[in-house]
């Protein structure tokens, strides 16, 4: 099946019933041909072409298949007969390093007799092997892979994740398992945020005071950086480093105050937010320093792009400097935006001289900026489209901030092409390279980061890889659950970490605490910062840190409520709704002794009471809905009081099934508002 006619087959496959493989991202074209390939102890792989990248990928594939299935596969060595999986890469030599625009296409044909994976380059082999592993599932006769013909290629060439190691340091093993996860869902960029006000995380041999005084001893040596780059390259992933300048630079100034606009001394900043310190764009020595440092980093990181950040410079220190004011007047710079544009132009020349292309956030956009610059947009797809019209390439991150604790469906609905992008010229559309999810680390650490990245980033990966027509939310969630389990087999800890943290909080009673944890979510957006004082020393070991960003229990409950309200006479699901509400209503009583008796859990007493109170209103509202009657005014008045949200949430959590209860409350009043239960 040609890729040009893939959409018809794709839509039929996505929307049709049947035993479909739970693939994510969904392929460009897939045809199920009937039958299945048995996966047994004699399973063998044979690879042709692709050099060392393919050879190592085949070895990793066999190890993962053995772990995933529990089978003992044959030892490496000569084998007779056809392999169960034949890998045929057209490129015979070594693949080199992954790069923007690399060919990641592949075809995979599985029959009951065997499977053949073909790709023009090694990168397509890597993507096809992940697809095969996702299809290995139990069947009637044992482990099997369904017979299919897949033709696949990504929609966008830039599909990444920003990992913030500056605010909270992420050990090498965390970075490597993150790379494993990215490769599994066919993402190809690790954007590594390495410097922040809270920490300078990379070794500079030219300026060792940067990491010695600016990192609390928590930084990556250059040998460790090379290890990560090699690990990523083996998985077809580029590593794009970010050294954020001229703002977010307090940690630079601890060892080198001469770079700052105002005199020091400086200390590592322990608080979050936009800080005042910034590099002095008027001082020639700053550019001399950056030339040497960025040159050193350009030699260390082989990717063609180098990210300079450029975001959130509030200009307070610039405004306080007489030297800066005089410089702006001398150069005819109207404001701080023009001053930063002057700085960016100087830095761009440095980056270019070291053989790299500069990348930065929205704030760097300026008419004088070289058109080779790549703009990363946190402001939105419309902003990205405007940059593309001006001749700049760009990637979208707005809508993909996984640190904001938003549901997968909301990220899934964000399209890198803005509404009206069809009106862009073909050249402007081609400048929109793709997007990146962002994992900012104010409120995550090495223990919790997996649960904040996964599994929701897999849904974002599908938006970047799959055809735009792949957009059914419930189908996505069904496949996301299967993908989440599969990622756990890969070694990610987004599920196991949840259990461990609940055990730490509640000991032997952790399953009781889980009843509460399963129906709450961390506050969305930036509201957590309003609930208490947080610094880089604050332990992240509370229920808000264990709780999942999206409660699947609450999501399924909301769907059941919507189905009931659409057809109040239907019996299916009604008793399940009643049983859940009754269980939640009794939660406060069951957990009171646990919560009140623990210093780590006492803050949750009001939350458990809120859960029980909401469930009680929901039960009563359900009764009116079932009777087909309108609730009396006294009940409504009392219930409104019970449904009020607390003014303060020191625990930084909210009850995830609240919207569904509000829908039941509206229905009990005879209102037919739009579905509030669809979160």
Which one, of 380, 385, 356, lies nearest residue 370 by Cα? 356
- pLDDT tens-digit map of 639-663: 999 999 999 999 999 999 999 999 9
The pLDDT value recorded for residue 17 is 35
The pLDDT value recorded for residue 103 is 98
Residue 58 burial (10 A CB sphere; 0-12, 13-18, 19+): buried
The pLDDT value recorded for residue 675 is 41
What is the model's pTM? 0.95
Token pair 């859960």 is found at 611
Q: Exposed e or buried b for every residue in 551-580, given b needs 16+ CB within 10 A?
A: bbbbbebbbbbeebbeeeeeeeebeebeeb
The pLDDT value recorded for residue 8 is 33
The pLDDT value recorded for residue 677 is 39
CB distance 405 to 387 below 8 Å: no
CB distance 261 to 317 below 8 Å: yes
Distance CA 237, CA 645 (A): 45
CB distance 354 to 298 below 8 Å: yes
Q: Exposed e or buried b for every residue in 204-225, given b needs 16+ CB within 10 A?
A: beebeebbebbbeeebbeeeeb
Alpha helices in 552-604 (DSSP H): 552-566, 574-585, 587-596
Q: Is 453 left (phi over 0), alpha (psi -120 to 50) or beta?
A: alpha
Structure tokens that stand for 251 in this block: 């940690």
The 8-class DSSP code of residue 454 comes to: T
Distance CA 512, CA 6 (A): 48
Q: How many residues does the chain have?
A: 679
Catalytic residue set: 312
- The verdict on whether omega for the bond into residue 441 sits within 30 degrees of 0, i.e. cis, is no
Q: Which residues of the chain have pLDDT under 70?
A: 1-18, 76-80, 419-422, 672-679
Domains and CATH numbers, the chain: 3-152 (3.30.379.10), 194-370 (3.20.20.80), 497-668 (no CATH)
Token pair 């019970």 is found at 642
Token pair 């063998």 is found at 44
The pLDDT value recorded for residue 420 is 65
Distance CA 235, CA 190 (A): 11
Token pair 């799959």 is found at 466
Neighbour tally for 482: CB within 10 Å:
16
CB neighbour list of residue 508: distance below 8 Å, 6 or more residues apart: none
Query: Strands 393-396, 432-439: parallel, antiparallel or unpaired by DSSP?
Result: parallel
Secondary-structure breakdown of the chain: helix, strand, coil percentages, each rounded to the nearest 5: 45, 15, 40
CB distance 464 to 444 below 8 Å: no
The pLDDT value recorded for residue 411 is 98
CB distance 157 to 430 below 8 Å: no
């Amino acid at each position: 099946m040609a890729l040009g006619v893939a959409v018809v087959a794709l839509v039929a496959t996505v929307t049709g019933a049947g035993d479909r493989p739970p693939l994510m991202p969904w392929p460009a074209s897939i045809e199920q041909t009937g039958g299945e390939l048995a996966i047994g102890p004699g399973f063998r792989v044979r690879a042709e072409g692709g050099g060392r990248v393919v050879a190592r990928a085949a070895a990793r594939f066999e190890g993962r298949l053995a772990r995933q299935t529990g089978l003992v596969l044959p030892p490496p060595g000569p084998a007779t007969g056809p392999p169960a999986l034949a890998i045929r890469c057209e490129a015979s030599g070594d693949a080199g390093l992954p790069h923007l625009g690399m060919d990641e296409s592949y075809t995979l044909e599985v029959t009951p007799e065997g499977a053949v994976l073909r790709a023009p380059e090694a990168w397509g082999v890597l993507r096809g092997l992940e697809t095969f592993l996702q299809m290995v599932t139990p069947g009637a006769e044992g482990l099997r892979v369904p017979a299919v013909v897949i033709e696949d290629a990504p929609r966008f060439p830039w599909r990444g994740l920003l990992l913030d190691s500056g605010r909270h340091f992420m050990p090498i093993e965390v970075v490597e398992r993150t790379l494993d996860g990215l490769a599994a869902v066919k993402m190809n960029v690790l954007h590594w945020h390495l410097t922040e006000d809270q920490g300078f995380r990379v070794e500079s041999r030219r300026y060792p005071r940067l990491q010695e005084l600016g990192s609390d001893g928590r930084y990556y040596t250059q040998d460790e950086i090379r290890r990560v780059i090699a690990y990523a390259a083996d998985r077809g992933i580029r590593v794009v480093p970010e050294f954020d300048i001229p703002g977010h630079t307090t940690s630079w100034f601890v060892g080198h105050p001469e770079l700052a606009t105002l005199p020091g001394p400086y200390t590592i900043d322990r608080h979050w937010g936009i800080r005042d310190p910034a590099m002095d764009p008027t001082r020639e020595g700053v550019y001399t320093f950056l030339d040497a440092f960025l040159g050193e980093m350009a030699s260390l990181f082989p990717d063609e792009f180098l990210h300079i950040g450029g975001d959130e410079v509030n200009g307070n220190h610039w405004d306080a400097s007489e030297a800066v004011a005089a410089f702006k007047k001398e150069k005819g710079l109207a404001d701080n935006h023009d001053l930063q544009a002057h700085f960016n132009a100087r830095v761009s020349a440095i980056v270019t001289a070291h053989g790299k292309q500069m990348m930065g956030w929205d704030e760097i956009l300026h008419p004088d900026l070289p058109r080779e610059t790549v703009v990363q947009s946190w402001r939105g797809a419309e902003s990205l489209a405007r940059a593309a019209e001006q001749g700049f390439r760009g990637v979208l991150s707005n809508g993909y901030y996984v640190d904001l604790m938003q549901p997968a469906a909301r990220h899934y609905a964000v399209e890198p092409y803005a509404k009206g992008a069809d009106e862009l010229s073909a050249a402007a559309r081609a400048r929109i390279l793709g997007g990146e999810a962002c994992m900012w680390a104010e409120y995550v650490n090495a223990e919790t980061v997996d649960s904040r990245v996964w599994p929701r980033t897999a849904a974002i990966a599908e938006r970047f890889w799959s055809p735009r027509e792949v957009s059914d939310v419930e189908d996505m969630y069904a496949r996301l659950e299967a993908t989440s389990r599969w990622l756990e087999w890969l070694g990610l800890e987004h599920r196991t970490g949840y259990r461990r943290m609940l055990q730490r909080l509640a000991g032997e009673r952790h399953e009781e605490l889980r009843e509460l944890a399963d129906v709450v979510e961390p506050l969305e957006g930036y509201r957590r910062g309003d609930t208490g004082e947080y610094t880089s020393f604050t332990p992240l070991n509370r229920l808000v840190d264990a709780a999942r960003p999206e409660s699947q229990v609450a999501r399924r409950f909301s769907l059941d409520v919507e189905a009931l309200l659409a057809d109040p006479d239907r019996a299916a699901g009604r008793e399940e709704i009643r049983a859940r509400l009754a269980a939640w209503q009794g939660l406060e009583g069951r957990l009171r002794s646990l919560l009140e008796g623990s210093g780590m859990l006492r803050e949750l007493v009001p939350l458990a009471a809120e859960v029980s109170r909401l469930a009680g209103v929901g039960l009563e509202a359900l009764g009116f809905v079932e009777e087909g009657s309108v609730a009396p005014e006294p009940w409504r008045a009392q219930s409104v009081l019970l449904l009020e949200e607390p003014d303060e949430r020191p625990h930084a959590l909210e009850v995830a099934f609240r919207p569904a209860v509000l829908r039941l409350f509206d229905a009990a009043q005879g209102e037919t508002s739009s579905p509030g239960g669809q979160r």
